[in-house]
Chain A
Amino acid sequence: MGLFHYNIEKYSPKQLVIIPMVLLAISLVVLAYVTVTVGMPVTPGIDFSGGTAVTVITSDTTAQIQSEFAGYPLVSVSEGLNNGKFITFGTMSDAQYQSLTALVASKYPDAQIDQIGESFGKTLQDQAFIALIIAFIGMAIVVFVSFRTFVPSCAVVLSAFADMVMTAAMMNVVGIQLSLGTTAALLMLIGYSVDSDILLTTRVLKRQGKLNDKLTGAFRTGIIMTSTTIAAVTVLLIVSWAGQVVVIEEISAVLLMGLIFDILNTWLTNVGILKWYVLKGGGK
């Protein structure tokens, strides 16, 4: 009854995994390229590289804002609906920052200002990196302990890894920077993206019945699970985009991309490997 009909039994394991594996390879190339040019797999935002962001609701045009802040290291001005503007600056000295805040306070008293120093950004960046690694390893351990079979556990962990890598690569493509908020989104993805993989693996390994029936049943449940989350996240993205709530906009955009890749990786990558494993004689 899902949104579309997907006939898993029609395809061989090889056919199933080929598309995501190609995408994974392309994503890894993108991440490698960005790492070489920028120094990090995803372009860091001000939370990690240091800098200042000003959010303001004003009818001033981008050009007016640019001339207003000409004396400061202006990086970008982005516009949302309802005259919302999001202005970012590079790093500056304490004295320059204080004069900037004074200027913002007099010109736009209702603005929101966020500033992160360079060394503090570096600390945050290191911690975020460690958090991501620990979270991923932790997730892998939970999966291995839960299933206690090598190939199916690897399939789940590989799917989650592919989710992360493809999402991170996509962030570069659509221009979402790595910030505290998007790091939180990536961490959420580590946790949530394995939901449907766990459902699939449990159904296939622990239930009696024909493989194809089990796969079809798991897909019916799994796709609706991901769809509900996608529905919630899409609403969040639309509202935050329209309302210029940048933090939430970025978080929900990353979650949305991750969930779409999750469909791909669960129902192609994970299913493919699991099918190969069962056909080869593993499982019950």
Chain B
Amino acid sequence: MKQERIKDLFSDWRVLVLIVLLVLSVIAIYPHFDSNGNLTTNLQYGLDFQQGSWIQLEFKSEVVGFTTTEPVDTFVTNLSKSLDTDVVQVDANHLEIRKSYTQAELQPYFEAEDGTVVSYQPGISATTADLVKQILVDKINSMGTKDAKVNTITGLNGVTQYVRVEMAGVDMNQAQQIVGKQGKFEIRIQTTGNQTDHVLYGDSITSVQVPSQSPAGSGNWGVGFTLSADGASTFQNTAIKYGATTDPADHKLTMLLDNKSVYSAPLSQALAGSLQSEPTTQLFASTGSGTSGEQQATNLEIQLRAGALPVDVAIAGSGSTSASLGQHYMEMCLIAGIFALIMVAFVIFYRYREPRIVLPMVLINASEIVILLGFISVIQFQMDLPTVAGLIAVLGTGIDQLVVITDEILHEGLVPSPNIYLKRLARALTIIVIAAATVLIAMLPLALMDLSTLKGFAIITMMGVIIGVLVTRPAYGRIIMDILSE
């Protein structure tokens, strides 16, 4: 009889789903001993729990909605000249202005070119954001930082205001050196006398080669680099416009990193000649001969590579955790979690004084946390401190709802018939579903918005509620029915 019951219980779908999910979660968390004999899991920890740094950069740029009576091309060109910066057309109605201006500052410039500012949003377009992200990823990879993440933070209007870089195993100072000191690379051309004009920014350079000798074996060092097709034609047009192709010596090209000259030389005779008739994408900057030439070529390579952010940036926020503090936080969270579970069990025992009710409650409560951790492992979410607080809150409220189920079933005496039992369970689940819906809706804005670290926290909390309503609470209802009708 009793065995039959247990068999029945374990073939119930609610209980089965719970068991299957529990097993899957344990597999996903995968607790095991590593090669040093330490217990580890597949859980990933964010920068709160391990040594690392994060830096969030803010773009000194804005996306502006505009109208104009002029032809758009002319308007953009003129505006770019008067604002003395790159102005890129994002779509039919929006411009990206790559310099920090307020809306009030922009208004007169737009009016002077027969245009108006319709909307104003600090940040960069999605296309530029992708470019920035790629540049940063390349830059960090070339520095040999192993575990880095670069995320652009884009508002609902499609404008990217921030980029966030997270690097494990790197302290704040190193992180600042790698990311914070972002240079802006520019090529300018000498027009008349000491005057120069803008030719290209670093974003027109598609690749940079390692230092080499040209011709090979000549001892004449330099760095080859490749321009995009647009960049190449701009380069050709500008060179012709100022007469650099006919008189290279008086129209030197200067490369600037953060507005400081890092390289200056005239066009070679051969290049000047060929530019006159066609654009070229392959360029070679010679730096001289011997060891000094080689050294300069190496520096120039880094400058060409590393200084390639098209937009100025400022540090919007940053943070770092040391290895020992991360370890300390982890221990504290573990202690808090275990003690919270014990305390909750204690309160429940005080209320029901019945181990047959308390034990399943606490076990179901703990299994909810295990399944949630399994889910966290699967999506490779990096746990941080707010998430732990969220998990412990799930622990506290999860048991609330088990209390609702238990009390609803115990209402008006024990051992109800299965029919009445199911009615009561359904009523309890109504309360639970409404309560769960309020938590879901309260967390939704956080999950959709980009409030820094809170997005993950909101998703985990919502997931906890969903797992509770769909899996653990129905299973508990089935298990407690068996126990109570004994």
Q: Across the interface, do A181 and B180 meet the contact criterion of CB distance under 8 Å?
A: no
CB atoms of B347 and A227 under 8 A apart: yes
Determine the chain A residues whose CB is within 8 A of the CB of B451 once the complex forms: 124, 127-128, 131, 180, 183
List of A residues within 8 angstroms of B407 by Cβ: 217, 220-221
A143 touches B336 (CB 8 A): no
| Given known A235-B340, A251-B389, contact A143–B442 (CB-CB < 8 A) | no
Bound-state Cα–Cα, A236 to B341, Å: 11
Is B137 located at the chain interface by the 8 A CB criterion? no
> Contact partner of A231 among B314, B321, B346, CB < 8 A?
B346
- Over the window 201-228 of chain A, the binary record of Cβ atoms lying under 8 Å from chain B Cβ atoms (1 yes, 0 no) is 0100010000000000100110011111
Q: Could you tell me the distance between the alpha carbons of A185 and B172 in the complex, rounded to whole angstroms?
A: 28
Q: Is the CB of B351 within 8 A of A245?
A: no
Shortest CB-to-CB span from A69 to chain B, Å, is 15
Identify B351's interface contact among A185, A224, A251, CB under 8 A: A224
Is A270 located at the chain interface by the 8 A CB criterion? no
B residues in contact with A278, CB < 8 Å: none
Q: Which of B314-354 contact A (CB under 8 A)?
A: 314-325, 328-329, 331-333, 335-336, 339-340, 343-344, 346-348, 351
Residue of A nearest to B435 (CB): A195
Closest chain B CB from A97 CB (angstroms): 7
Does A111 interact with chain B (Cβ within 8 Å)?
A: yes
Cβ of B138 to closest chain A Cβ, rounded Å? 23
List of A residues within 8 angstroms of B401 by Cβ? 195, 225
Docked-complex contact B385 and A139, CB < 8 angstroms: no
A35 near B: Cβ within 8 Å? no
Question: Is residue A194 contacting chain B, with contact meaning CB distance below 8 A?
Answer: yes
The reply to whether the CB of B397 lies closer than 8 angstroms to some CB of chain A is yes
A117 engages B314 (CB within 8 Å) = yes
Q: State how many residues of chain A have any CB contact under 8 Å with chain B.
A: 80
Q: Is A158 an interface residue (CB 8 A)?
A: no
B325→A112 contact, CB < 8 A: yes
Overall SS of chain A's interface:
helix
Interface residue stretch chosen among A16-24, A59-67, A102-110: A102-110
Assess whether A251 is in contact with B180, with CB atoms less than 8 Å apart: no
CB neighbours (8 Å) of B434 from chain A are: 142-143, 146, 198, 202
Interface residues of A in 229-245 (CB under 8 A from B): 229-236, 239-240, 243, 245
Question: Across the interface, which residues of A come within 8 angstroms of B162, CB to CB?
Answer: 120
- Report B448-465 residues with CB < 8 Å from chain A CB: 449-454, 457-458, 461
**Among candidates B335, B347, B435, residue contacting A228 with C-beta atoms closer than 8 Å:** B347
Tell me if A57 counts as interface (CB < 8 A to partner B).
Answer: yes
Closest-by-CB residue of B relative to A209 is: B412
Q: Which residue of A lies closest to B321 (CB)?
A: A112
The 8 Å CB contact of A198, one of B339, B392, B431, is B431
Question: Are B442 and A195 in touch, CB under 8 angstroms?
Answer: no
Find the A residue at minimum CB distance from B315: A94
Find out whether the CB atom of B320 lies under 8 angstroms from the CB atom of A188.
no
Q: Output the least CB separation between A100 and chain B (Å).
A: 10
- Check B442 against A187 for contact (C-beta < 8 Å): yes
Tell me if A225 and B438 are in contact (CB < 8 A).
Answer: no
CB distance B388 to A130 under 8 Å? Answer: no
Q: Majority SS of interface residues in chain B? A: helix
A147 to chain B, nearest CB (A): 8
Whether B340 lies near A236 (C-beta < 8 A) is: yes
Report the minimal beta-carbon distance from A165 to chain B, rounded to whole angstroms: 16
Kindly list chain B residues whose C-beta atoms are within 8 Å of the C-beta of A116: 316-317
B355-394 residues with Cβ-Cβ distance < 8 A to A are: 385-386, 388-390, 392-393
> CA A114 – CA B351 in complex, angstroms?
43
- The distance in angstroms between the C-alpha atoms of A73 and B222, with both chains bound, is 47
B257 at the interface (CB under 8 A from A): no
How far apart sit A232 and B221, CA to CA, in the bound complex (Å)? 68
B444 at the interface (CB under 8 A from A): yes
Q: Is B58 engaged at the interface, CB distance under 8 Å to the other chain?
A: yes
Contact-size category for B:
35 or more
Whether, in the assembled complex, B173 has its beta carbon less than 8 Å from a beta carbon of chain A, the answer is yes
Which of A105, A136, A187, A231 meets B171, CB within 8 Å? A105
Interface string of A119-161 (1 = CB under 8 A from B): 1110110011011001110110111001000000000000000
Decide yes or no whether B441 CB sits under 8 A from chain A.
yes
Which of the residues A111, A180, A192, A232 comes within 8 Å of B344, measured between beta carbons? Answer: A232
- Contact partner of B396 (CB less than 8 A), chosen from A187, A221, A229, is A229
Whether a CB of chain B sits under 8 angstroms from the CB of A170 is no
Min CB–CB distance A33 → chain B (angstroms): 27
Complex CA–CA separation, A121 to B161 (angstroms): 13
B450 to chain A, nearest CB (A): 7
A55 to B434, CA, bound (A): 41
Instruction: Tell me whether B404 and A229 are in contact (CB under 8 A).
Output: no
Q: Which residues on the A side are within 8 Å of B318 (C-beta)?
A: 97, 113-115
Q: A184-B386, A217-B411, A251-B386 are in contact. Are A229 and B393 (CB under 8 A)?
A: yes
Task: Kindly state whether residue B240 has any CB partner on chain A within 8 Å.
Answer: no
The residues of A that contact B480 with a CB separation of less than 8 Å are: none
Whether B441 and A135, one on each chain, are in contact in the complex, defined by CB atoms closer than 8 angstroms, is yes
Are B437 and A248 within 8 A (Cβ)? Answer: no
Chain B residues near A55: list those with CB within 8 A: 325
Residue A199 at the chain B interface, CB threshold 8 Å? yes
Q: How far is the CB of A128 from chain B (nearest CB, A)?
A: 6
Q: Does A98 contact B (CB under 8 A)?
A: yes
Is there a chain B Cβ closer than 8 Å to A101's Cβ?
yes
Cross-chain contact B438 with A184 (CB below 8 angstroms): no
Closest beta carbon of chain A to B441's beta carbon, Å? 4
In this assembly, does B446 line the interface, its C-beta being within 8 Å of a C-beta of chain A? yes
Any B CB within 8 A of the CB of A1 = yes
Chain A 172-191 near chain B by CB (<8 Å), digits 1 or 0: 00000000110111011011
Residues of chain A with a CB closer than 8 A to B439's CB = 188, 191-192
Q: List 22 A-B contacts (CB under 8 A).
A: A94-B180, A98-B176, A110-B323, A111-B322, A116-B317, A117-B314, A117-B317, A120-B56, A124-B452, A130-B445, A134-B445, A135-B446, A194-B438, A202-B427, A224-B347, A226-B400, A228-B399, A232-B392, A232-B396, A236-B389, A247-B386, A248-B386
Further pairs besides A2-B351, A127-B450: 16, Cβ < 8 Å: A110-B323, A123-B161, A139-B438, A142-B437, A143-B438, A180-B453, A183-B451, A217-B411, A220-B407, A224-B351, A229-B393, A231-B346, A231-B347, A234-B343, A239-B336, A248-B332
Which residues of A are interface residues toward B (Cβ below 8 A)?
1-2, 47, 55, 57, 94, 97-98, 101-102, 104-105, 109-117, 119-121, 123-124, 127-128, 130-131, 134-136, 138-139, 141-143, 146, 180-181, 183-185, 187-188, 190-192, 194-195, 198-199, 202, 206, 217, 220-221, 224-236, 239-240, 243, 245, 247-248, 251-252, 255
Q: Identify the B interface with A (CB < 8 A).
A: 48, 56, 58, 161-162, 171-173, 176, 180, 314-325, 328-329, 331-333, 335-336, 339-340, 343-344, 346-348, 351, 385-386, 388-390, 392-393, 395-397, 399-401, 403-404, 407-408, 411, 427, 430-431, 434-435, 437-446, 449-454, 457-458, 461
